[in-house]
Structure 1
Amino acid sequence: MSVSVKPAYLLLPAPAVALGVVVAMRHGASPMAFAPNVLAMVLGAIASVAFAGQTAQRQQRILGWAAVAACALVGLTLASSGLEGVHRWIRLGPVWLNASMAFSPWVLGAALARSRAWASAMLLALLGLHAVQPDAGQATALGAAIVAITLRRSPLSVLAVLALVAGTWMRADPLSPVDHVERILVLAVSDGPLLAGAAVLALGVLFLPMVQALKHANTEYRWLGMAFGLYFAGEIAMTFVGNFPVPIMGAGAGAVLGWYAMLINLRAGV
């Protein structure tokens, strides 16, 4: 049995992207830097509608294979040339795609539907890749989500998660921030209460699918909604801790694709 998609949810990233353009232009950046965000929105909306039209059995197969492919794509970053010894991106022509932000939600989503051993192995492998890249921001956000997923099923995995996240923070990250990518939220706050409030609202509405999932009759959906909420909140929080990309509002397709991946894993809008 297929599920319906909530059309309004497909447009939720639009205010954050638009606000990012406004703030970036106020600080001298070109609006074309956000073209990948817009393209990712279009692709994400199409994928969400297409997924919602599949049978439940086919949806499960798609999610399973997507999780395996996601791990492989995040691992592929280690084979890239990287930037100053940091390997977080897959290059698609002129676009550098942050693989973890784009694909990690598929692994989180599949974990609850798999056995305890499969879920723990896949999640810890994914987290370990971030220690090699290194990417402490994503590792921390993922760590919070992984704890939510594994705590009740494999409490010992929590210790491994904490160790991997701590190890990632021990790795040097020499990259300097780009204003319209990593500092766009800080700039919005610095531009006064109006833009700061608009940023809070634009990012806040992106939690609606997760909040809706918390009300679902299915326990697994509720736990997944919590995990995705912690993950997305962690991504936002990390931008105030280090030079990490602001999801959706900062220029870049990765986080936009990742948000739609979360929406799809919540069955295109529960």
Structure 2
Amino acid sequence: MNSLILAALPAFLGSLFLMHRGGASPSQQLQQAVVFCVAALACALLSRKPLTFTDKSRDRALIVAAVLVVLPLLVPGAAPHRWLGAGGFRLYMASVLLPGTVLLLPQARSAWAALLLLTAALADQPDASQATAFALAGLVVLWRTPLSVLARVGVGIALAGAVTMAWLRPDPLEPVSYVEGVLVLAQEVGPLALVFALVALALPVAMLLRLGQVAVAVYYAAILFFAYRQLTPMPLLGFGAGPIVGYFGMASLCRPRKSAHWK
């Protein structure tokens, strides 16, 4: 959707500036620019014709997303298991898949099962930030589903248990200045740079709320909080292909609630 594309532009421009200040290599800056431009163009082209989902195709899409989030757990090596890729290029699968998954959940027949499976997989990686953000968005979805009160409480307790397990597991990764630490970089540049960065981060969340996509907005708000704490990559403003692909994948599916084309 064009409004979501425009909402992401300030963060993209800020990312190039802060990556330069943070010591990112020219090839990393070029990768950021290429990924953003290609993903934004693909989103603009896909948004011209509204996508429709049947119950079966929506459930299949959720199954594919779940499989792709689980796959990093099968990659040999030390934890955390969050990436798939080849050579020197890797994609952070949770950041690629979860935004669009949250968007599809409200109309899915198996929303509660997808919520539990994906949150458990994120806890096992471990990825406490993504597990928490996804669970919080899931609670928004559960509030609007026709499940019984008892079923909602049960799913909510299970989500809380998975998130707790995720936070109890050690995360050996250290923050990188131009990935998780971009707000610190902006603060070092000066007050105007920090204000610009904060506004740039708030714009996509505000646009999602304006479009009525509360669950996705909650997901991104939580991710921004954990990124501020330097626990996860800052989406759009920080370096990384996964958050960019995930944002524009979600945007290509997004429709205002009052004129939704879901079936």
Give the TM-score normalised by the residue count of structure 1: 0.83
What's 1:200 paired with? 198
What's 1:101 paired with? 95
What's 1:167 paired with? 165
What amino acid is the match of 1:29?
A: A
What SS class does the counterpart of residue 12 from structure 1 fall into?
helix
Distance 1:254 1:112 in 2: 23
Higher mean alpha-carbon deviation, 166-175 vs 45-54, is at 45-54
Distance 1:59 1:180 in 2: 41
What's 1:135 paired with? 127
Q: How far is the alpha carbon of 1:179 from its aligned partner?
A: 1.4
Q: How far is the alpha carbon of 1:240 from its aligned partner?
A: 3.0
What amino acid is the match of 2:99?
A: P
Distance 1:101 1:74 in 2: 10
In structure 2, do the counterparts of structure 1 residues 240 and 55 end up closer, same or farther at CA, with 3 Å as the change threshold? closer
Distance 2:118 2:45 in 1: 27
Q: Tell me how many residue pairs correspond in the alignment.
A: 252
What's 1:222 paired with? none
Distance 1:74 1:66 in 2: 12
Q: How far is the alpha carbon of 1:242 from its aligned partner?
A: 4.4
CA contact (8 A) 1:52 1:268 kept: no
Alignment of 1:228 with 2:216, yes or no, is yes
In structure 2, do the counterparts of structure 1 residues 213 and 99 end up closer, same or farther at CA, with 3 Å as the change threshold? same
Q: 1:211-250 alignment to 2 at 5 Å?
A: 211-214=209-212, 225-250=213-238
CA contact (8 A) 1:71 1:107 kept: no
Distance 2:190 2:137 in 1: 32
Distance 1:241 1:140 in 2: 14
List per-residue Cα deviations over 1:164-189 (Å, max 9, x = no partner): 11110001101112111111122212
| Backbone CA RMSD of aligned residues | 2.4
CA contact (8 A) 2:179 2:239 kept: yes
Q: How far is the alpha carbon of 1:63 from its aligned partner?
A: 5.0
CA contact (8 A) 1:63 1:110 kept: yes
In structure 2, do the counterparts of structure 1 residues 59 and 50 end up closer, same or farther at CA, with 3 Å as the change threshold? farther
Q: Residue 263 of structure 1 is aligned with which of 251, 255, 259?
A: 251
CA contact (8 A) 2:115 2:135 kept: no
List per-residue Cα deviations over 1:195-233 (Å, max 9, x = no partner): 10010111122224312222xxxxxxxxxx111111001
What's 2:63 paired with? 68
CA contact (8 A) 1:63 1:106 kept: no
Alignment of 1:34 with 2:29, yes or no, is yes
CA contact (8 A) 2:58 2:108 kept: no
What's 1:150 paired with? 142
What SS class does the counterpart of residue 90 from structure 1 fall into?
strand
Distance 1:23 1:53 in 2: 33
Higher mean alpha-carbon deviation, 18-27 vs 163-172, is at 18-27
What's 1:18 paired with? 13
List per-residue Cα deviations over 1:95-120 (Å, max 9, x = no partner): 221100011122212211122xx110
Q: Residue 241 of structure 2 is aligned with which of 250, 253, 262?
A: 253
CA contact (8 A) 2:181 2:230 kept: no
What SS class does the counterpart of residue 91 from structure 2 fall into?
strand
Q: 1:83-94 alignment to 2 at 5 Å?
A: 84-94=78-88
Give the TM-score normalised by the residue count of structure 2: 0.85
| Identity fraction in percent | 29
The gaps in structure 2 that reach 5 residues or longer are none
